[in-house]
Amino acid sequence: MPQTPHEVLVATIEAYEAEHEPVCERTVARSLEATPAEVQRTLERLDRVEFLAATGNGYRPTVTACEFLELDITLDDVAAVDLVDG
Give the domains, in start order, of the chain with CATH numbers: 5-70 (1.10.10.10)
Answer whether residue 84 shows pLDDT above 70: no
> What is the full DSSP assignment across 15-81?
HHHHHSS-B-HHHHHHHHT--HHHHHHHHHHHHHTTSEEEETTEEEE-HHHHHHHHTT--TTS----
On average, the pLDDT of the chain sits at: 85
pLDDT tens-place string over residues 18-74:
999 999 999 999 999 999 999 999 999 999 989 999 999 999 999 988 888 887 666
What's this model's pTM, rounded to 2 decimal places?
0.80
